[in-house]
Structures are given as structure tokens and as C-alpha cells.
């Protein structure tokens, strides 16, 4: 039986379209620098549309095949360098970097720059819709994220990694103006009981310091409403056992203890210590003393055992482990315990 042959089905000044044996359609053209470009697409319509876009950018001398191999991580690197070069305020740079590292690199970092125009940024729009529908992300939060994606692609265009126009603008990617999370999710009394019970159990062979840290994290979230960075930044000089007050003055950022909060100095606050937390902290302090740890001054309360600080990632690891324990919750975390704390206080 004869094998199916490849067949040229379209010839234009921008390039050719060839039907492959597997049914896909390959573009065969050269970019503005004379480099050969041969992507394969699933349908003839996609191939024709892509060749039309290539023709437009090629006429302007801006079609670059190099974008086929360059990933979005490169664009994000260029954006961070640009922010530093233009003297953007440190707080603004840090906010952008946090969004990049928490969302954009994990989601789009390995995407090829050529995918953005080739797929008409459909995956970006889908991500925005999913964040709004399933995660309740606020419209302003998504607006900032979309702005950073567009800025990164602008830098890639300037550096010659991608042809203009910016695909975010060209394909009219938009932020959904919805938020499914009409009310904050909170734990029920039964769920609180299960969470406390799961957190108080120590796994076989587990370092005792790690087990105790995990238990205190649950109490800090439930009884103080602390964010994950604030949990690691809480020090003994901010705990007043005499008037039973805890002062939030520090967070862990980039692996370091800094005098700040997520919302800046305005986030500094004093929180009353409940009787339950008072007893738990006093017992935990006595255990640390017996182990030879310092429990005075600007020394972190949470001692992870094998590290100096409990970082934001470490907090996430502790919650993940809790979620997998029998009888625990499938949805614990600093956000829900903080919401529960707010509901209890209200």
C-alpha cells in the first residue's frame, strides 16, 4: 500500500502550506532575517490564518522565527530588568515580582513566545476566566496580572524575540468582571475540630519541632488570623504574656526577616491573645527552652528544626501535609483559617 505523500496546497509570497502525511499542515517560510520557519498546525484554517499573520509582520520586517524557541520566561526576565533599569520603586518591583513568581512563571513561563500569537492568546483568556470563576480572584488582581503579561511581551518585541503587534492587544484579551466568591469560605465547628485534631498528631519518624510548628500554624491562623508570611515573621519580642497581646511587626520575605507586613507599615497591629493560645504558646516556649533554643528578643517563634525560618513555601508544605492526613480537611490553608478567624471575631 502506497504511503500518503506530502502535498503543497498553497503558495504565497510569505511562504507555502504543505499537507503532511499525518493530516497536519506545515508552514514553510523564512523570517525577516532569512531563517527558515516550519511549524506544523492541526488544521488548514489555522495554517492559513498563521501565514496571513506572518505576511503582515514580514512586510514590516518584524517576523522572527527565533520566537519559536524563546519562552515567556525570557520575556519575564526582560521585564524585571526593565523595572530595575527605569528606577521603579522597590515596593512596586517587589509586587510585580511576587505576581510573576507566584502565577506567571508557573503558568506561562515555559510557553513559547510564538504560542501567544499562534494560539491567539486563548490560553491566557482561559486562565483569567478560570481564576475568576473557580478561585474568586478579584478583577483588579487579574487586571494587574494581565498588565504584567502585556508589558513582558512588549519587552520581548523590543528585544527582537517577537514581532509586533503585541498579541494581548491584537486579540483583545480581557479581564472577566465577575467574582464567584460572593462570601468568604469559612470552616464549620466540626471542620475546626477535625483540623485541630489532625494538626496535633505527630507522624511516625517526624521531627518533633516540625510537628509543633504545624500545630502552632493552625492556631496562628485560626486564633490570630495571621497570613503565611506573618506566621514565620512572628518573634518573641512581639509576644507580651503579661497583657496577653501579640504584635504583628515582621514578615519573612525572600528568606529574610524584615520589619514590614504585606500591606506595609499600616499592617502593623496588636491582637489579643486568647486563653487557648496563651496556654499553647507558654507550653511551646517551655519546650523550646528545654531544647536549648532562644525565646527572647527578635527571634522567630516558629523553629522549623532544619532551617532558620519558616518561609511562605514552608507554610504551604505544612498545609499540604495536613490536607492529606486521614480525618483532616481537603481544603485547609492560611486563607480559609484567616477567613474563619474574621468570622469568629465578627
Last residue of a domain, one of 126, 142, 170: 170
- CA gap 329, 322 in Å, rounded: 8
Q: 141 with 196, same domain?
A: no
Q: 135 with 85, same domain?
A: yes
- CA gap 297, 305 in Å, rounded: 19
Question: Is 107 within a domain?
Answer: yes
* Cβ–Cβ under 8 Å, residues 170 and 56: no
Under DSSP, is residue 333 helix (H, G, I), strand (E, B) or coil?
Answer: coil
Question: Is 1 within a domain?
Answer: no
Q: 322 with 205, same domain?
A: yes
Q: 198 with 132, same domain?
A: no
User: Of 150, 113, 110, 156, which Cα lies nearest the Cα of 128?
Assistant: 150
- The continuous run of DSSP H or E covering 131 comes out as helix 122-135
Q: Which residues pair with 18 in a beta bridge?
A: 8, 26
What pLDDT shows up at residue 2? 47
Q: 240 with 293, same domain?
A: yes
Question: Is 102 within a domain?
Answer: yes
Q: 57 with 82, same domain?
A: no
What pLDDT shows up at residue 262? 75
* Peptide bond connecting 165 to the previous residue in cis, omega within 30 degrees of 0: yes
Q: 19 with 147, same domain?
A: no
Q: 307 with 204, same domain?
A: yes
What pLDDT shows up at residue 79? 95
Q: 158 with 195, same domain?
A: no
Question: pLDDT per residue over 226-258, tens digit each?
Answer: 888 888 899 999 999 999 999 999 988 877 888
Question: Is 181 within a domain?
Answer: no
**CATH label of the domain that carries residue 298:** 1.10.443.10
Question: Is 176 within a domain?
Answer: no
Cell triple for residue 322?
A: 495536613
Quote the number of domains for the chain. 3
Sequence-distant (≥ 6) Cβ neighbours of residue 46 within 8 angstroms: 25
Question: pLDDT per residue over 61-92, tens digit each?
Answer: 555 555 557 899 999 999 999 998 988 887 78
Last residue of a domain, one of 103, 138, 170: 170
User: Of 67, 155, 48, which Cα lies nearest the Cα of 117?
Assistant: 67
Question: Is 177 within a domain?
Answer: no
Q: Residue 223's domain spans which residues?
A: 189-345
Question: Which residue numbers in the chain have pLDDT < 70?
Answer: 1-9, 31-35, 56-68, 179-185, 304-308, 323-346
Sequence-distant (≥ 6) Cβ neighbours of residue 294 within 8 angstroms: 236
Q: Give Cα separations from 21 to 17, 53, 171, 331 (angstroms).
A: 13, 25, 31, 48
Amino acid at each position: 500500500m502506497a504511503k500518503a505523500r506530502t502535498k503543497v496546497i498553497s503558495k504565497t509570497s510569505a511562504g507555502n502550506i504543505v499537507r503532511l502525511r499525518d493530516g497536519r499542515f506545515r508552514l514553510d517560510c523564512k523570517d525577516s532575517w532569512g531563517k527558515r520557519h516550519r511549524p506544523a498546525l492541526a488544521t488548514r484554517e489555522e495554517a492559513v490564518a498563521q501565514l496571513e499573520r506572518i505576511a503582515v509582520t514580514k512586510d514590516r520586517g518584524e517576523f522572527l522565527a527565533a520566537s519559536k524557541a524563546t519562552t515567556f520566561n525570557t520575556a519575564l526576565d526582560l521585564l524585571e530588568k526593565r523595572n530595575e533599569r527605569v528606577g521603579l520603586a522597590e515596593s512596586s518591583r517587589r509586587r510585580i515580582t511576587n505576581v510573576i513568581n507566584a502565577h506567571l512563571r508557573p503558568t506561562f513561563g515555559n510557553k513559547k513566545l510564538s504560542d501567544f500569537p499562534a494560539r491567539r492568546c486563548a490560553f491566557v483568556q482561559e486562565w483569567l476566566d478560570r481564576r475568576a470563576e473557580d478561585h474568586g480572584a478579584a478583577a483588579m488582581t487579574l487586571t494587574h496580572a494581565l498588565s504584567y503579561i502585556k508589558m513582558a511581551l512588549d519587552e520581548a518585541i523590543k528585544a527582537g524575540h517577537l514581532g509586533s503587534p503585541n498579541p494581548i492587544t491584537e486579540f483583545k484579551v480581557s479581564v472577566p468582571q465577575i467574582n464567584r466568591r460572593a462570601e468568604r469560605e469559612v470552616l464549620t465547628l466540626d471542620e475546626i475540630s477535625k483540623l485541630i485534631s489532625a494538626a496535633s498528631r505527630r507522624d511516625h519518624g517526624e521531627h518533633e519541632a516540625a510537628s509543633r510548628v504545624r500545630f502552632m500554624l493552625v492556631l496562628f491562623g485560626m486564633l490570630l488570623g495571621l497570613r503565611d508570611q506573618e506566621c514565620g515573621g512572628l518573634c518573641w519580642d512581639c509576644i507580651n504574656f503579661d497583657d496577653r497581646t501579640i504584635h504583628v511587626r515582621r514578615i519573612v520575605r525572600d528568606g529574610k526577616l524584615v520589619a514590614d507586613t504585606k500591606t506595609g507599615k499600616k499592617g502593623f497591629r496588636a491582637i489579643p491573645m486568647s486563653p487557648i493560645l496563651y496556654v499553647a504558646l507558654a507550653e511551646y516556649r517551655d519546650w523550646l527552652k528545654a531544647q536549648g533554643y532562644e525565646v527572647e528578643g527578635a527571634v522567630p517563634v516558629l523553629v522549623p528544626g532544619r532551617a532558620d525560618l519558616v518561609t511562605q513555601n514552608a507554610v504551604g508544605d505544612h498545609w499540604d501535609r495536613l490536607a492529606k492526613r486521614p480525618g483532616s480537611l481537603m481544603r485547609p490553608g492560611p486563607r480559609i483559617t484567616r477567613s474563619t478567624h474574621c468570622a469568629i471575631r465578627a
